[in-house]
A and B are shown apart, each in its own frame.
Chain A
């Protein structure tokens, strides 16, 4: 390939096994990618290695790189593996156990043996200060300096590296937290000190404490990592302003990111969702269910009107997989991505009801599915996919890894078909159906929880196993259109490039709509907007291109769940709370089909300041030649058995050509299954679009 003129933008995603690097030539729109092994002991090595490799492979100069955008699982891993620094917690007197008591709820109702998540700060390192803020924001008692200085001596003696300060009602007035921070920072130079107000000023002492503690726990190691990466990049003549991907789909400059590492907790998957939004946009789909199925899990997220749906909380480090409530709650803005089920490596077994159950146990990559031939003897989803002809033993990973079909059949016969009295193929179909059905259920409920109907979305499949299961999953949910983008395997890194620079602020303010002082709201929005503009301006965004989005979380008085309502600037300026009430009612009706004759209230405000979304139109590097490469036997329930099915090389399918099912499209990292009554067509951007008969 010729030397590119650039300038280039590079996205880097550190995953469990591979570090993915994607490079976009902003001049030509050409997109290239590279995979290198992740280096767990020093992840920066892998990042630098990958960037160097992709530049060399494409004869590009380091100086021609404009930006590097990075997402990482470092923060989530540090929390999961408890590999943060020694952290102390300082609370209001009488409340140091809030972190341990949690919500008092059992997350699994029939299980007498559940473990609750261990707090990140042990009881001996949780300290109390005699201070008190009232719910109104009025100071009842300010902390005394002498007590804080004595506390500092204890903290010093305990050799803590980080301190989280969380006082009751600080989300409303942080004066006491600020004062405590001032004195502790003075006494403990070099220690990281976070207040709950800075990290996330939201009501709810348990969740806010958990969030602030998690932020303090990971901040020192994250800061060290980022500083090293930035200096190494400079040494290699790469730009020194590194950007980091936030869990809410925005990007920020590294110096902002290191203050709030907890906001990066899901940054890889957030990139995948942003990529899905871009791919979908190219296919002229604005409402998308992004379905990401990898080796151990399948995730889903909804994209509505071109934007991934967000949530203001997230749970990390679950003690029991899939169980809501078994992890550490974090109040951070995130793209609302949920785990909907098993992955390719998930194990299928006969349960106590003599029915097939899939997961949550996984064969992981070692020993892996039975067909990997690495000693795995238990049947997995991948084994079933192979038996049904969805995967091909010879062309898996572009032929780099030959699969053992006989081993897959043996495992299914031994563990499933035999005990259930079924044929091997029927049992394999059972695994495929079972895993798809449970994902369909979970995704449907997720849509409902977000107040949407899944049938209104198109499904976009990424991840190695995503396209293999996508069409069957879509049919179960009543979804008609399935998009399979090119490069699904590096979607997250690509998504980083597609994400705008942005920062989100949240301010709690519970009050009846009738009492709302819109003048005060306008002043608060202005202040947050200014702060946001200066943050995005430091990332090179021209203020006139930035946009501010205002949302109010509202509900009827007496309810417990709020609905986010987009509030136009003009509605605030007009000074009429009634207009906000009408906007809320319209939204509520849209979600639940009814409105109530009850007074609404405001719970909190959300202000997001963003730069423009980068316009990406990647051009697919296609191969010449006839796409049809052969035929193989593939199982379809529609025909009640195996059918001789054409196999196409996905990279050779030309735009506009319509291919009727049954058909299989192979690419390096995955396989797309098109059932008999469906039609597939490639668009000019490399998306393969499958239309299903529902």
Chain B
């Protein structure tokens, strides 16, 4: 068939990646979802006729890595490709088929050229409102919102009226969610309009020849990295705070030649709280962790996952059965990277990092502003300290493994009756080590309104702090307080006017024995106040 030179592969690759980014940029600019535009909580993907993902937009959160090809297979089981026509668009938000919870909508459109099926363009985006009543007390996924099974949202270019009516009838903010859905139609149209001329210019009859090349190269790159590590099985186990009792996440990484297998056998059973992580999400964060450690410099496509298998027993926390509640899937999914790094540290200590102050902390504030017609609902993100790295300290308050930015306090105070009294780094919260973990932050919110504000939190690492690695110490555990008194980390509570609620995120773990820390670095920490003289003496034996 078509013989592609390395030069041509490189150029076509750049063009296709660029096309994904162009489509992604259009989505960000027109989105009504703040998580889409501020946190890039979306992805655009191109798949070939066989359903292999060739290219993905570069800036997106890790949750969507590799999920689109699996979702497409599930869609095609319901709607075989022979039954699809030009102008059809498929949709689903099923957590088990998609990305692990109902708030992410995956949409995929088959592409045709001269009546021939060419491939697929798809996107995944986060929607704030999906109906239902998601909460920390949800016992099953039915409470968590509307499940759209694989369905046609567009039929030969016309909206499916029944589906649109169902969405309107079930969503609180149907206009916004439908607005975001419709923005995808325009994006696909743009994409198709540019992809076909691109193929003509590059003299490519289809996507297959390029897909073969790109996927093989990505695969070979990761295989080389895995091959460089000694064969064997390496294990790690960590404890998550959980709800009523702690949860264990157990991970075995087996390296055999150029293959790497991650298995979560021994992990706690699924629970009736919304922290279960469907296998798709578990796989996404596992593959992400491995890619960061072993092959960070290459683009994402299906080839980059061929050498990796991720398995977990059915019915466990990281591969739950329906109808487990999954809304807060990140509360276990974000533990995949530290568990895998704990195992890999035994063979690749120079490629991994100590535990970060995550799973991501967030808080929902709900209440009424004086004079406002509608109640406000505001989600606020707070990152913990980053884990120490093999050659550097961990930065204070950097998002990992997700990548979610904070919000400007000046914006937030304009939208709520809350006054932020501090947003500050907390001394002595980074784990000691040859390289120190990043410091945690503390945020205090005073209710300056006239009515109570409902606060929903579900924080981890309060009982079990982020661990140090290779002799490094743990970071400080997180703390939640009202008026200076500790409150549970997973709760829904109310703060009365003038009450102050305080959140202190977890600090990052340290790396390497503290005794090996450069005294200059210790003195600099004391000068900046990030480490107190007392702590310097206790942890490092440093006399001031």
Binding site for B on A (CB under 8 A): 93-98, 100-101, 103-106, 109-113, 115-116, 122-124, 132, 134-135, 140, 168-169, 171, 203-206, 351-357, 420, 422, 426-427, 429-430, 433-434, 437-438, 440-442, 444-445, 448-449, 451, 510, 556, 558-561, 591-594, 596-598
Contact = CB atoms under 8 A, between A and B. Distances in A.
A106 B399 contact: yes
Nearest to A115: B392
Interface in B400-457: 400, 403-406, 408-411, 413-414, 419-425, 441, 444
A98 B423 contact: yes
B10 A592 contact: no
Contact of B405 (A105, A132, A134, A559): A105
Contacts of B14: 434, 437-438, 441
Nearest to A475: B201
Nearest to B23: A448
Contacts of A95: 409, 422-424
Secondary structure type dominating chain A contacts: loop
24 contacts: A94-B424, A95-B409, A104-B399, A106-B403, A109-B403, A110-B291, A113-B391, A140-B419, A204-B411, A352-B297, A353-B298, A355-B9, A420-B6, A429-B7, A433-B7, A433-B11, A441-B21, A444-B22, A445-B21, A445-B22, A561-B37, A592-B29, A594-B30, A598-B179
Given A96-B424, A135-B410, A440-B18, 10 more contacts: A97-B423, A104-B381, A110-B296, A112-B293, A112-B352, A132-B419, A357-B10, A434-B11, A448-B26, A559-B32
A123 B221 contact: no
Nearest to B296: A110
Contact of B411 (A203, A434, A591): A203
Contact of B406 (A103, A110, A593, A598): A103
Interface stretch (B313-321, B325-333, B467-475, B527-535): B527-535
A136 to B, nearest CB: 8
Contact of A355 (B10, B17, B423, B424): B10
A101 B409 contact: no
Given A106-B400, A109-B59, A592-B29, A203 B7 contact: no
By Cβ-Cβ distance, the 7 closest A-B pairs, closest first, are A94-B422, A441-B18, A430-B7, A110-B296, A123-B528, A355-B10, A105-B405
A470 B411 CA distance: 43
Contacts of A169: 410, 413
A478 to B, nearest CB: 9
Interface in B282-304: 288, 291-293, 295-298
Given A558-B32, A561-B37, A101 B11 contact: no
A112 B296 contact: yes
A449 B179 CA distance: 20
B156 interface: no
Nearest to A478: B197
A168 B410 contact: yes
Given A109-B403, A448-B26, A122 B528 contact: yes
B328 to A, nearest CB: 20
A559 B423 CA distance: 25
Contact of B28 (A94, A354, A561): A561
B38 interface: yes
Contacts of B175: 597-598
B237 to A, nearest CB: 22
B292 A111 contact: yes
Contacts of B422: 93-95
B5 interface: yes
Nearest to A169: B410
B45 interface: no
Contacts of B32: 556, 558-559, 598
Interface in B247-296: 288, 291-293, 295-296
Given A115-B392, A169-B410, A97 B18 contact: no
B396 interface: yes
A422 B297 contact: no
Contacts of B395: 116
Nearest to A132: B419
Contacts of B140: none
A351 B299 CA distance: 12
B176 interface: yes
Contact of A592 (B26, B37, B527): B26
A245 B234 CA distance: 61
Contact of B25 (A100, A445, A597): A445
A123 B524 CA distance: 10
A561 B29 contact: yes
Contacts of A98: 409, 423
A93 B423 CA distance: 10
B292 A110 contact: yes
Contacts of B22: 444-445, 448
A82 to B, nearest CB: 16
B228 interface: no
Contacts of B34: 558, 560
B133 interface: no
A352 B6 contact: no
B119 interface: no
B353 interface: yes
Contacts of B406: 101, 103-104
Most chain B CB within a 10 A radius of its CB, from A353, A355, A433, A558: A353
B504 interface: no
B236 to A, nearest CB: 17
Nearest to B384: A104
